[in-house]
Amino acid sequence: MKRFFDLVGASIGLLALAPLFACVALAIKLDDRGPIFFSQRRVGRFGRPFHIHKFRTMVQNAELLGPSITAAGDPRVTPIGRWLRKTKLDELPQLFNVIKGEMSLVGPRPEVEQYTRLYNGEQREVLQLVPGMTEPTSLRFYDEERILAQAENPEQLYLQQIMPAKIRGNLQYQQQATVIHDTVVILKTMARMFRKVLTR
C-alpha cells in the first residue's frame, strides 16, 4: 500500500511541478551556467548505497571544498541556491528516486556513508526503513542550516545532537506510520515550503 501511495504521489507531483522544474532549471543555468542537478551517494534501506538527486545549490565540486553538512552562510552556496535551500525546493528531484523505489515520500532522510558508520547498534535500526523525502523531524529541523550556523562546531552539533534526535524521531514515527499519517506529514511539509517561498 505504501509503495502504491508513493508511486501515485510522486507521479502526480512530477506532472504538476513540471513548469516549476523548468523555471528552477533555467534559474540555475542563468546563475552560473553549471549543471542543473546534483547527485550524491547516500545510504538507503538495508545499508545499500544509492544516489540522491537534487537541484544544484552549490558551486561545482563543492563536496571537495568543505564538510558534508551545510550551515547558513556557507560560501559554497550559489545565490539561487540560497533561496532553493531555504524553501527546500532543491529537494524536489528526489521524486525520481521515489519512482525508482530508492526512496519513499515519507521516511528517514538518508545520510552519507561517513555518518552512518558512526551509528550505534540501536541507531542502525533506522537503516531497516526506506529513506524518504520528508518526515516529522524534518519539520522540527526545517531551519537546520540556521541552527548549525550558530554553533562553534556545526558538524559536532549535528553528530551529537541533531542526528541522534532525527533517528529517535524516525524510529518512533515508523511504529505508528499509516497512509493517513504520511499524508499529514506531506501536507505540513508542503505548507512549510509555500510559506518559505512567500516570505522570501
What is the pLDDT tens value at each position of the chain, 200 positions in all?
Answer: 899 999 999 999 999 999 999 999 999 999 988 899 999 999 999 999 999 999 999 988 887 778 888 888 888 999 999 999 999 999 999 999 999 999 999 999 999 999 999 999 999 999 999 999 999 888 888 888 889 999 989 999 999 999 999 999 999 988 888 899 999 999 999 998 888 888 75
* 45 alpha carbon, distance to own chain's centre: 15
Nearest to residue 102, comparing CAs of 15, 10, 12, 14? 10
- Look at residue 195 in the predicted model and tell me its pLDDT: 85
Nearest to residue 166, comparing CAs of 144, 189, 149, 188? 144
Nearest to residue 147, comparing CAs of 197, 73, 75, 78? 73
| Domain that includes residue 6, residue range | 2-198
Write the CA distances from 139 to 4, 37, 129, 176, 190, integer angstroms.
Answer: 24, 24, 19, 17, 10
Based on the structure, what is the number of domains in the chain?
A: 1
How far is residue 66's CA from residue 75's CA, in Å, rounded to a whole number? 10
